[in-house]
Chains A and B, each alone.
Chain A
Amino acid sequence: GAGVSQSPSNKVTEKGKDVELRCDPISGHTALYWYRQSLGQGLEFLIYFQGNSAPDKSGLPSDRFSAERTGGSVSTLTIQRTQQEDSAVYLCASSPHAGTQYFGPGTRLLVL
């Protein structure tokens, strides 16, 4: 069956531009997570959506980062006024309730 998908797979942008990253979770999964991984580092938790509850935004590194999850399904991570240190791989995962996470392939973001 279809897994978690993310788009675009790669994104190159100029410093100061806004970017939107999309995540399509597995149908029926109530939980959705965003992470990022900078080169040579481990995963860094960004934000967590669970059903209709208020999202856990505790991992967002600055107010330039925001995320939405429309209709309990698709999620968009937006980075405003991108900086070079935002360059990383952004990973999305979904899970049924709070169980096993299924990861998408990631979006590689490069800010020039």
Chain B
Amino acid sequence: SQQGEEDPQALSIQEGENATMNCSYKTSINNLQWYRQNSGRGLVHLILIRSNEREKHSGRLRVTLDTSKKSSSLLITASRAADTASYFCATDDGNQFYFGTGTSLTVIP
């Protein structure tokens, strides 16, 4: 199975609410990345967090990494309808890349 697993598989929230997605992985990593995909488009890189970092911010995005639990979370604050997309985590162990199957986020206006 793929290395990264996102949770939940699907999430539906009202505009303005916060959205939290989680990612778990299995082995040691060099870094972990979050991507979004709008329907029918390629992946867009959102944020990269290195294995020695615990938290990172970018605009309305906040990513945490807990290497002891082999997990990461992506928080989108003050969500907008335009945030509707699938979100993927990806891990890099220095040898291969592993992508999860994604969380489908729907933000209701």
Which A residues contact B (CB, under 8 angstroms)? Answer: 3, 33, 35, 37, 41-45, 48, 50, 56, 59, 89, 91, 93, 98, 100-103, 105-106
What's the minimum C-beta distance from B39 to chain A, rounded to whole angstroms? 5
Task: Given the known inter-chain contacts A33-B42, A98-B40, please indicate yes or no for A105 contacting B96, CB distance below 8 A.
Answer: yes
Interface 9-mer from B20-28, B63-71, B76-84, B97-105: B97-105
Which B residues contact A (CB, under 8 angstroms)? Answer: 2, 33, 35, 37, 39-46, 48, 86, 88, 90, 96-99, 101-102
Contact status A101-B99, CB under 8 Å: yes
Contact status A42-B42, CB under 8 Å: no
What's the minimum C-beta distance from A53 to chain B, rounded to whole angstroms? 11
A42–B99 Cα distance when bound, in Å, is 13
A91–B97 Cα distance when bound, in Å, is 9
Contact status A89-B97, CB under 8 Å: yes
Contact status A43-B43, CB under 8 Å: yes
Contact with A42, one of B2, B35, B86 (Cβ below 8 angstroms): B35
Contact status A101-B43, CB under 8 Å: yes
Task: Given the known inter-chain contacts A33-B42, A42-B45, A45-B43, please indicate yes or no for A100 contacting B101, CB distance below 8 A.
Answer: yes
Q: Chain A residues with Cβ under 8 A from B97's Cβ?
A: 37, 89, 91, 103, 105-106
